[in-house]
Structure 1
Amino acid sequence: MDLEDLKFTCAIAPQTLQLIIMETCSAIIKALKENIQVPKTTDGWKRVAQEFEEQWNFPNCVGSTDGKHVSIQKPPHSGSYYFNYKGFFSIVLMAIVDANYKFLMVDVGANGRVSDGGVLKNTCFGTSCLRTSLTCLILESYQALLINNFRTSSLQMKLSNFSLSS
């Protein structure tokens, strides 16, 4: 549903709806900003890795990441830009969490045709890691791992899906 369609369900002009949506998104970001924090120090990353080992018996892990395709209507003149491998148009919501399911990083808005690795690579987090040759994730005695599809019932490592370089 686009803003033109939405105006009929709530009797608000599309321009006003756009302002309301942007203001609401800004308020959500402002309210949750402090709850989403990437560790900034080696000690912070060590704490995350230690929690994964203690709680999940999964050593050397500094985050669990997954992407979710959010279905959208095809934007006009976008061609296959938002068309994903699942057969529908989408944007991608990607997040990295710690051992307690607390968000370390969230990114939303990548077009649906981009792979999980491509989405991660193009986030501020991913570009920061590439810029520092991934040294930001290599801890003194820990080999950092990002795992895809973390589930409490089974841990599946699909590191090949997260190649950060071409």
Structure 2
Amino acid sequence: MDSDEEALLLLLLLKRRRRRRRQKRTFWVHPILELREQHGQFHHLFMELRSDEEKFFNYFRMSKSSFDELYNILKSHIKREDTIMRRSIQPEERLAVTLRYLATGCTFMDLQYSFRIASTTIGKIVRDVCRNIWIHMKDMCMEQLTKDKWKDIINGFKKNAQFPNCLGAVDGKHIRIIQPAQSGSSYYNYKNYFSIILLAVCDSNHMFTFVDIGSYGRHADSTIFEESCLYKMLQEKKLNIPPPSAISQNGPLLPNVFIGDEAFSLQENLMRPYGGKNLPEKKKIFNYRLSRARRYIECTFGILANKWRIFHRPLNVNVDFAVDIVKSSCVLHNYVKQRDGNKFEDTFEGLPYSIIHSTQQVRPGGPMLTTIREEFANYFVSEEGKLDWQWNMI
């Protein structure tokens, strides 16, 4: 048998195999899924939920008014046209499926049987809606960082955390994922699981002001921060940050700073705690006061995860899809916080994230930077800046 005959025989075998595969498909749409409009969760339950505000909030993690506003913003972007073969899934149902996926952490297969929509279709719906939430709502829910906005943030931290000249609390969190194909150890972190990193900055109202999502799990906070667009704009003086100001009467002018943990390096606009053990009292007080302000980012992550329970398990999707999920969840966090506030149960449970610690020694900065930190420390132990109970906490 020559090569042409072998090729022809192989082609015939492939055609026969494809024909057999086609013959195995008994249904165009499975009978269970055909009953979506009669028994699907959206058609069967949605109107009943609308009659009870508390149950609606529990189901969708937002109030009816917030859902309706969100729907009106997104409906033209997530609507799909009917075809000769079938009717499209309406945008309200597409939004409901996505919110339920984020709120419960159910798999696409679980949602298939409750909403009577094929799991592959649900995956496409969720990704499409998440992308549109980020594209069309990011600027609305994460306000542009103007000079007035910075002043509001600074005043908020001074009032709520008693930390002056603070631009926000910054930290990074591991988002657990299933190992991506052919990724090697890039996403494998020091906690011995696979993750992408959410680097975020928040204000004293537990609102995200900046997020950077998708870095490898093995990377350190300082590396991610210094590669972010926020850091680049900070270095290029493009963030409209207010000029340095005194934090005490007749004191020196001090820069406005972000605050982070020991994983970050000390920089002109980034403050970190003193390192080492057996510190003198003044340094311990400084570390405690900085920690009080830095807690806001930890609490923000906790609220995010306890509202959107998708983060209580590893994300079993590809990395790009996982990034879309995290982006949309951060936007929805701000959106719901602005309109509905916090529910007690959103803040009650422990954090499912892992705190990132630096695995390398970070240089503490030059003399000028350590002097700036020393001025903050002096203020916190002065009569003007002390808290009466702070010595009880060290």
> What's the offset of the Cα at 1:120?
1.9
Give the C-alpha shift of residue 143 in structure 1: 1.2
**1:92 partner SS:** strand
Show the counterpart of 1:155: 292
* Match of residue 112 from structure 1: 217
Which aligned pairs between 1:48-59 and structure 2 lie closer than 5 A?
A: 48-59=153-164
Greater strand proportion: 1
Partner SS state of residue 155, structure 1? helix
Contact 1:129 1:136 in 2 (8 A): no
2:243 is matched with which residue? 139
Paired AA for residue 141 in structure 2 = N
Over residues 48-67 of structure 1, what are the superposed CA-to-partner deviations in whole Å (9 max), with x where a residue is unaligned? 21221122110111101121
Letter in 2 for 1:95: A
Contact 2:168 2:202 in 1 (8 A): yes
- TM alignment of 1:3-152, pairs within 5 A: 10=112, 12=118, 14=120, 16-29=121-134, 30-41=136-147, 43-130=148-235, 132=236, 136-137=240-241, 139-141=243-245, 142-148=254-260
Partner SS, residue 109 of structure 1: strand
Could you report, residue by residue, the CA deviation over 1:71-109 in whole angstroms, capped at 9, with x for unpaired residues?
111111111111112211101112111122222112221
Please report how far the alpha carbon of residue 112 of structure 1 lies from its aligned counterpart in structure 2 after TM superposition. 0.8
Q: Which residue of 2 aligns with 1:3?
A: none
RMSD, aligned α-carbons: 3.4
Unpaired segments ≥5 residues, structure 1: 1-5
Q: 1:8 to 1:44 in 2, by over 3 A?
A: closer
Task: Give the greater-gyration-radius structure (CA).
Answer: 2
SS of the residue 1:84 aligns to? coil
Distance 1:13 1:134 in 2: 45
Q: Does the 8 Å contact 2:243/2:256 carry over to 1? A: yes
Assess if the C-alpha contact under 8 Å between 1:45 and 1:62 holds in 2. Answer: yes
Q: Which amino acid aligns with 2:244?
A: E
Native 8 Å contact 1:67 1:116 kept in 2? yes
CA contact (8 A) 2:108 2:123 kept: no
Contact 2:173 2:197 in 1 (8 A): yes
Q: Distance in 1 between matches of 2:137 and 2:293?
A: 33
Aligned length: 153
Percent identity of equivalent pairs: 29
Compare relative contact order (CA 8 Å, sep 6+) and give the higher one, 1 or 2: 1
In 2: Cα distance, 1:17 partner to 1:124 partner? 33
